[in-house]
A and B are shown apart, each in its own frame.
Chain A
C-alpha cells in the first residue's frame, strides 16, 4: 500500500512532465537567471562594466586568436620543456654522485663488514637500493622543475584558454571540448587525467576521454623521452644546438600523442561510440597572478614528492625482480638472458629489441622505471666487462655519455632510440591508471580496450617506422 503511494508521486511527476513539455530544464534555468539578476540589481553596484576586465580581454584576444593561439601554446610548452631539460642536468648529476658514487660503495663495504650473505647483499643493495637511487636521481630534478612550472601556468588561468583553443578540434573528432582539460591533466599523470574526466557530462564522450588519456605523455614518461632524445637525437647535431633539438623532438612526440588522441577519438566516435557532440559553456576565469612561493611549495609537496614516492614504491620490488632474473641461472645462462633471447626476434622485427620488451614487462607497475630497467638488463645481457659490480647491478654512470656508450654497445641505433620514444608514448597505461580506469568505468571491457589498444598501435607504428627506415636508409 505504502509502496503504491510513493509510486503515485512518481506517476504524478511523469504526468506533469508530459504537460509541461520537454523544456522544463530551460524554463527553470531561465527563472534562476531572472531571479539572480533581480537580486543583483538591488544588491550589486557595478562600475561601467567594460573597463574592468579590459586587460584580461586583451590577453584573451591574443592567446585564443586563430593566428597566435597555437603558436603561443607550442611556444609555452617548448619553453617549459627546454627549462626542464637544461635545468635538470646539474642537479641530476649531483644526486647521482651522492646516491650512487658515494653511498653505494659505502653500503657495499658496510654489508661486507657485517658479513651479509651474498644473495641478500645483492638483492638489497645491487637490486633494490640501486633501482631506488636511479629513479630518484633520474626523476626528481625534471619533476621538481616541470611540475612547479606547469602549476604556475595552471594558477595563472591559462589552461581553460588551451581548452578553448582546442575545442573545435576535439569537436571535429567527435569528442567533448573539456577533453582538452583532462588531456593537460594527463600530461602530469594519466590516473589524475582519467579521474578528471568526471567533468564531462555525456557518458559517451567521457569514455572517449578516458580511453585516449593515455596518449597524453605522462610525467613518468617525460624523463624517458628526454633522456633518449638527448642520447640519440641531440647528439646528431653540434652540442650548441643539442638542447634545442632535444626539446623539439620531445615536443614532436608529445604532439604526436595529441594527434593519436584526436585520431583515436575520431575512430571511436565514428564506430563503437557513435553519438552527438554535446555543447557546453566554458568560463574563461579571470587571470590571477599566481602566488609564486605557495605554488612552488604545494606543487613540490602535492605532486613531485607524491609521484616520486610512488615511483620509489614500485622501483624497489622491480629492482629485486631485475636482480633475480639476472642472477637465477637456467643451466648456462641467466633467466634474463633466456627471456631476452626468446623475445628478441619479435623486438627486432618491430625495430626495438628483446631488452626493451622485457623491461616493459618488468616495469608494468610504473612507467618511470623503464630506463633504469633497460640499462641494467642491457648490461646483464651483454656481460659488459668493467661496468658495475656484477650481474643485475645498476651501474655507475657519470653522464648521459656513459649511458649512450652502453646502449650503443647493446646494438642500439638511432632507429632503436626513435622507436623507444614512440613505444614509450604508445603502450599500455601503468597499473595505477588501469586500475583507475576500471574504477571510473566499472567495465572490464572498456578497461581492456583502454589497455590493449595503445599497445597494438605502438607495435604497428614501430613496425611501420622500421620498414620505412630500412627502405630509405
Chain B
C-alpha cells in the first residue's frame, strides 16, 4: 500500500480500471463517502482525483466552506463523495466545523476518508482522533507523501494504522499515486470487508474521564447500540445545542 509499489498501478488487471468517474451524477447511489480533513491537505485534490470534477483547489484555509458533492463508480458500485469543509477541529461553534461535525454524525456516511498532510501529521492527528470518536468506518489518507519524502519525514505506516485502529493509505493525490489503494480500501470498508476498531481518546483528565463514562453509559442505556456514545457525551458536556436537541427529540435513535 505504499507509494513506491507503483508497479501495481501499472498492471493492466489492477482495479483502477474499474474506476469510472461520474462527475456530478449522483443518482442511484450505493454508498456515501465523506471527505474530511484539515485545510491545506489536498482534500479537494483527492476529491477531484476520484470524481473527475475540477473543483477549484486553493492553498488557504476556508476554501471549501460549502460542501461539494460528486460521484464515482468502482467495482460496479456507485459512490457519492461529499467534500466537507476543511477544519482543524470539530469542537468549535463556527459554521464550517458544524457542517463537518453534523454530517459525519447525522449523515452517517458509509465511509469517512480523513485526508491528512503527511508533512504535518502530528497536528493533523488532532482532527483524526476526533473523527474516530464519531465513526468506526474511517480510513486515513496520508496525502502529500512526496513533500514528506522530500523533507525526510519517515512515517511508519503500519505502526500508525495499529495505533489508530483504522487503515492508513499513503497518497500523492496530485499525481494520482495511491488512489487505487484508497479506492479499494474505501470499498472494503463500505462493504464490511474491513471492520475497524478505532482508537478512542486517551489521556483524559480523571474527572472528565469519569463524567464522560457516566454520561456515555446513560446514553447507551437510552439508545442501545449507539456507536458514538462518548462523542455524544463530549458534545453534551460542551453544551452543543444541536446534540442536546437530538437527545431530547429522540433523533439519536437513528444513529443506532
Interface residues of A (CB under 8 A from B): 2-3, 5-10, 12-14, 16-17, 19-20, 24-25, 27-40, 42-47, 52, 151, 154-157, 159-160, 178, 181, 195-196, 198-201, 281-283, 285-286, 288, 290-291, 297-299, 301-303
Contact = CB atoms under 8 A, between A and B. Distances in A.
Q: Which 5 A-B pairs have the closest CB atoms?
A: A36-B125, A199-B62, A13-B236, A201-B94, A40-B122
20 contacts: A16-B211, A24-B208, A24-B238, A25-B91, A28-B204, A28-B234, A31-B205, A37-B122, A39-B122, A39-B160, A43-B160, A45-B153, A47-B153, A52-B151, A155-B58, A160-B60, A181-B60, A283-B40, A285-B59, A298-B54
A59 to B, nearest CB: 14
A133 to B, nearest CB: 28
A39 B60 CA distance: 27
Given A40-B122, A43-B155, A155 B214 contact: no
B203 interface: yes
A50 B205 CA distance: 32
B236 A178 contact: no
Nearest to B40: A285
Contacts of B239: 14, 17
B20 to A, nearest CB: 22
B42 to A, nearest CB: 9
B237 A16 contact: yes
Given A32-B130, A301-B54, A156 B94 contact: no
Contacts of B96: 198-199
Interface centre among A12, A178, A195 (most CB of B within 10 A): A12
Interface string B207-225: 1100100110011001000
Interface string B156-173: 110110011000000000
Contacts of A19: 207, 211
B61 A283 contact: yes
Contacts of A178: 62
Contacts of B123: 36
Contact of B59 (A16, A29, A155): A155
Contacts of B174: 291
B215 A43 contact: no
B51 interface: no
Contact of B201 (A6, A31, A199, A297): A31
B205 A27 contact: yes
A283 B39 contact: yes
A44 B155 contact: yes
A33 B126 contact: yes
A64 to B, nearest CB: 14
Nearest to B200: A35
B248 A7 contact: yes
A12 B129 contact: no
Nearest to A290: B59
A6 B222 contact: yes
Given A44-B154, A285-B40, A24 B237 contact: yes
B255 interface: no
B60 A157 contact: yes
A40 B121 contact: yes
B61 A285 contact: yes
A199 B61 contact: yes
Interface centre among B65, B88, B238 (most CB of A within 10 A): B65
B83 to A, nearest CB: 14
B28 interface: no
Contacts of A157: 40, 59-60
Contact of B214 (A16, A160, A195): A16
Given A32-B129, A199-B62, A200-B94, 5 more contacts: A2-B250, A6-B247, A35-B199, A44-B155, A151-B56
B237 to A, nearest CB: 5
B207 A20 contact: yes
A262 B121 CA distance: 37
B60 A285 contact: yes
Contacts of B126: 29, 32-33, 36
B152 interface: yes
Contacts of B122: 36-37, 39-40, 44
Contact of A154 (B60, B88, B250): B60
B62 A181 contact: yes
B202 interface: yes
B237 A10 contact: no
B215 A13 contact: yes
B204 A31 contact: yes
B6 interface: no
A199 B94 contact: yes
A28 B208 contact: yes
B5 interface: no
Contacts of A38: 202-203
B59 A20 contact: no
Contacts of A159: 58-60
Contact of A44 (B55, B95, B153): B153
Given A6-B250, A32-B201, A156 B59 contact: yes
B122 to A, nearest CB: 4
A265 to B, nearest CB: 18
B237 A17 contact: yes
Interface centre among B61, B153, B156, B249 (most CB of A within 10 A): B61
A40 B126 CA distance: 11
Given A5-B222, A10-B236, A282 B61 contact: yes
A32 B88 CA distance: 12
Contacts of A156: 59
Nearest to A160: B60
B29 interface: no
A194 to B, nearest CB: 11
B203 A35 contact: yes
Contacts of B164: 39
B196 interface: no
B119 interface: yes
B65 A198 contact: yes
Nearest to B133: A32
Contacts of A45: 153-156
B244 interface: yes
Contacts of B4: none
Given A20-B207, A39-B160, A44-B122, A29 B65 contact: no
Contacts of A13: 215, 233, 236-237, 244
A160 B58 CA distance: 11
A310 to B, nearest CB: 16
A24 B151 CA distance: 37
A53 to B, nearest CB: 8
Nearest to B118: A44
